Amino acid sequence: MTDRNKLVTAAFGTLVGLMMTAGVASADHHEKNEQVKCYGIAKAGQNDCGSAKHDCGGKAKTDGDAADWIYLPAGTCEKIVGGVTK
């Protein structure tokens, strides 16, 4: 194996490792920073997760759908017109 191949393999392994830890850190982030689900304010295609109408984040079809939500810091949702925490 050449030095270049070793370097590419090491870089790829590092990238995969970082991607795997980013998912874990993202899940922990919402719990540690007191994030809440805020319903009714997500823009079309900008929701954070699935709802009764679809199963994935980014699938909201209309702005402000009451079933779609985004994560916001605790206390912020109530300050936004149309925002509710169910």
Is the pTM higher than 0.85? The answer reads no
Q: What is the pLDDT along the chain (86 residues), one digit of tens a residue?
A: 788 777 667 666 677 767 776 655 555 555 567 999 999 999 998 888 888 778 788 888 899 998 899 999 999 999 999 999 98
Burial class (CB in 10 A: 0-12, 13-18, 19+), 50: middle
Q: Which of these, 72, 76, 70, lies nearest to 43 by C-alpha position?
A: 70
| Residue pair 42/68 in contact by the 8 Å Cβ criterion | yes
Report the C-alpha gap between 11 and 53 in whole angstroms: 40
Q: Which of these, 72, 66, 67, 41, lies nearest to 54 by C-alpha position?
A: 67
